Structure 1
Amino acid sequence: MTAPARSQVTGRALLLLFMVLTLVPFVTLFSTALQEPGTIPTGVSWPSDPHWGNFADAWRVAHLGPLITSSLLIVLGVVPVSLGLAALAGYGLATLRVPFGNAIFLLFVLGLTIPFESLITPLYYQMQQLGLLNSRWALILPLIAMYMPFGVFWMRAHFLAVPAELTEAATIDGASAWRAFLHIHLPLARPALSSLAILLFLWTWNQFVLAIVMVDDPLKRTMAGALGAFQGQYGTDIVLLSAGALLIMAPTVLVFVVFQRQFTQALLQGAVKG
């Protein structure tokens, strides 16, 4: 066997191994969700009498219907604003001569190194002073701010990869920086924006810790915050928890499957270079 053939076989074997390692937790979760409610399953085994009604029970116990609406409202409040601000800031730092632009970008990069958990306590007291606790704004505003470092880094890398000749040609034709952004750079940034939107959607939809801390009303949280509904006084119903976790993950998996081509296209076009 030639070296290229061995390399190809090795690559496919590694991909198959990673695929199996990725699917095993989902298979385990699915088999657990079909067990008899109230039991504590051990190992991975297909039940002789699958309890498909566990998914309906989990939907009812966790009030997932209202939580879908709440999650969509939070996503609609976070993702479009984050995309707009990240695109504007990334374009300014990559294309325009912004005073102290490198120092500003360095501050955004430093923001990527701050542990999320260390921000929970100061955010709680800040939202309390603003009178926003137990409202969706207590999730929307902090999430927009926390997504900015990565969003600006992502979009700046994309705009740096755009040939400078396009901007120069637009300037010669009399286009302002704002017009060049709207009519030239923004259309070219669709793959980067769509992939960033997918990431922001996934992070927002699956937000758990911030939803639990900032919002007391379970119906104003994200769907991931509904996992606490399966915690009883004397223990946790593992079966219903597994069924609820699968229901909560279903929209994110569906979004990634539908838009995976756009996400891959953004990576291949150099959206993370720079």
Structure 2
Amino acid sequence: MNNSSIERTITYAVLILAAAFALYPMLVILFTAIQPESIGASGVDFGNFATAWDRGNFGTYLKTSVIVTVSVVILSTLLACLAGYAFGTMRFRGSSVLFYLLLLGLMVPSEAIVIPLYFGFQELDLLNSYPALIFPQVAQSLAFGTFWMRAYFRSSQAEVVEAARLDGAGHFRIFWSILVPMGRPAIITMMVLVFMWTWNEFLLPLVMVPTEESMRTAPLGLATFQGQYTSGTALLAAGAVLVALPVIVFYIFAQRHFIRGMVEGSVKG
């Protein structure tokens, strides 16, 4: 066996071990979710998902999470693309200062601002509402999104942009007709990350939705369900699968562009 074969074997072995390490907890949860809830029963019980759905009110929680997450992803993507284009292709006074000021959003933890946000939205009478869940998360995602898209727009092909300008294209046409289609992998990568972060957010909904049960998101609803069924491990596992399923489905559909965007970002970085 030559050196290349040995290296290939070691690489595959490491990848298989890493995949097993990552998949083992998920398989355990999935296996637990289909176990019969009754003590001493055997076989599988897919009815645990329907039971958890009904008892845990996951239909309402998932609806709220979908509305909040989709709104955050759309607004964050739009604003991040516009800001990234401005910082990546335009030169104006104070651009560097504004950009690094925006990057402070990456350094401030959400725990440090959630209490001021609570009192601010309380003064505006917006607690237990969609704006209280959407706007703070858009602001949190905007710093990373701008940083990510600025890196893409700065590394985009300058000759293509110059050729478009010579043809009379303005900023909007260059942005919308040329750079956005070319940057689809980078944009989808950002959307997947923002989707996962927003869907899994727990602290902000916990603080911003203190009383209205119908406004609870899926992770917050799962925590409530856990408090009600601490001994029902199968139902808890079924609820966890229901909460995680939308993220998995979204990633499966976007994985090709997500991986391409991550690879291109690492190469350009």
The yes-or-no answer on 1:182 pairing with 2:176 is: yes
Please tell me the residue identity of whatever aligns with 2:241.
L
Structure 2 CA distance for partners of 1:181 and 1:232, relative to 1, 3 Å: closer
> How far, CA to CA, are the matches of 1:134 and 1:222 in structure 2?
11
CA distance in 1, matches of 2:69, 2:228: 32
d(CA) in 1 for partners of 2:2, 2:229 = 61
**Structure 1 residue 271: deviation in Å?**
7.3
Q: CA deviation at 1:38?
A: 8.0
Tell whether 2:253 aligns with 1:258: yes
- What secondary structure, in the 3-state scheme, does the structure 1 residue paired with 2:265 have? coil
**Counterpart residue type for residue 256 of structure 2:** R
The question of 1:161 aligning with 2:155 is answered yes
Report the RMSD for the aligned CA atoms in angstroms: 2.1
Match status 1:241 vs 2:219:
no
In 2: Cα distance, 1:154 partner to 1:272 partner: 14
The aligned counterpart of 1:62 is 56
1:170 aligns with 2:153: no
Q: Is the 8 A contact 2:132 2:208 kept in 1?
A: yes
Question: Residue 117 of structure 1: which of 103, 111, 125 is its match?
Answer: 111
* Structure 1 residues 97 and 24, CA gap change in structure 2 (3 angstroms): same
Specify every segment of 5 or more residues in structure 1 that has no aligned partner in the other structure, as ranges. Answer: 40-46
Structure 2 counterpart of 1:202? 196
What is the total number of aligned residue pairs between the two structures?
Answer: 267
TM-score (norm 2): 0.91
Cα deviations by residue, 1:130-152 (Å, 9 ceiling, x for unpaired) = 21101111110000000011101
Q: Work out whether 1:217 is the aligned partner of 2:217.
A: no
Closer/same/farther in 2, CA of residues 272 and 134 from structure 1, 3 Å limit: farther
**8 Å contact from structure 1 (residues 139, 211) kept in 2:** yes
Q: Quick check: 30-39 or 217-226, which moved more?
A: 30-39
- Residue identity in the other structure for 2:29: L
Give the aligned partner of residue 30 of structure 1: 30
Report the Cα distance in structure 1 between the residues aligned to 2:16 and 2:89, rounded to whole angstroms.
42
Asked whether 1:267 is paired with 2:262, we answer: yes
Paired letter, 1:60: D
Which is worse superposed, 76-85 or 197-206? 197-206
- Whether the 8 Å contact between 1:218 and 1:225 is mirrored in structure 2 is no
Normalising by structure 1, we get a TM-score of 0.89
Shift of 1:198: 1.6
Instruction: Note if contact 1:63-1:219 (Cα within 8 Å) is conserved in structure 2.
Output: no
My pick for the range that moved more, 2-11 or 86-95, is 2-11
* Structure 1 position 51, deviation (Å): 3.2
Q: Percentage identity across aligned positions?
A: 40
More helix by share: 2
What CA distance in whole angstroms lies between the structure 1 residues aligned with 2:58 and 2:230?
21
**Residue 7, structure 1, aligned to residue 2, structure 2:** no
Tell me, what secondary structure is at the counterpart of 1:98?
coil
Report the residue type matching 2:43 in the other structure.
Answer: D
